[in-house]
Structure 1
Amino acid sequence: MAILLMFLLGIGNFALQRAVLESRHRLLRELPPLIRKLGGRASLVAEFCLLLGAMLLVGNGYPEWGWAYLGYTALNAFSAWILLSNRI
């Protein structure tokens, strides 16, 4: 059950990250061109690695990593809300 919940949180994280990347927020436009070009793909790969690592740890008996991933998701949601609502 915990792995399924983490998978659903991961889907949410990918959706939030994609929305931020496609928002064309001014902070993203100010990044250097190379980082802007590679940053989107690299950040999605990093997101996948985080999700996979957390799921493997929870699946092997470390439930505290599930709580840590929930906190990470909450921070992602807050950050995406700030950027997408133009509060920054």
Structure 2
Amino acid sequence: MLLIIGFLLGVANFAMHKAVVESGHPFVEDTKRYFGKHIGPYGSYAIELALLIGALWLANEGSVLITLFYAAYTGMNVIATWLLLTGRG
């Protein structure tokens, strides 16, 4: 069950990440220009994937705490995505 929850949270995180990257928000564009030199155009997706793999790996070991932390991380992404996409951030 923890794997299913983690996977669904990961899908939500990737969807929000894509929406923010494609939003054209000035903060996001500046960040992409700066970090793009160091981690490439898809580096942020690689970081997101590494977080998901780690969360799923530990969830597979039965770690409820890691799943809760990943859920909290997803909740923070929801708030940040909402702020950026509605122009409040």
TM-score (norm: length of structure 1): 0.88
> 1:35 and 1:22, CA in 2 relative to 1: closer, same or farther beyond 3 A?
same
For these two proteins, the number of residue pairs brought into alignment is: 88
By how many angstroms is 1:34 displaced? 4.9
Give the deviation of 1:29 after TM superposition. Answer: 2.7
- Look up the match of 1:17: 17
Scaled by the length of structure 2, the TM-score of the pair is 0.88
Identity %: 35
Q: Which runs of 5+ in 1 are unaligned?
A: none
- 1:55: which partner in 2? 56
User: Counterparts of 1:31 and 1:62 in 2: how far apart (Å)?
Assistant: 33
The answer on whether the counterparts of 1:21 and 1:40 sit within 8 Å (CA) in structure 2 is: no
Contact persistence 2:6–2:59 (CA under 8 A): no
Match of 2:26 in 1: 26
Matched, 1:70 2:85: no
Which digits, 9 at most, give the CA deviation of each residue in 1:8-40, with x for residues without a partner? 110000000000000000112334735246565
Aligned-partner SS, 1:86:
coil
Q: 1:24 to 1:51 in 2, by over 3 A?
A: same
Deviation at 1:64, TM superposition (A): 0.6
Indicate the residue corresponding to 2:44 in structure 1.
Answer: 43
Gaps of 5+ in 2: none
C-alpha RMSD over aligned residues: 1.8
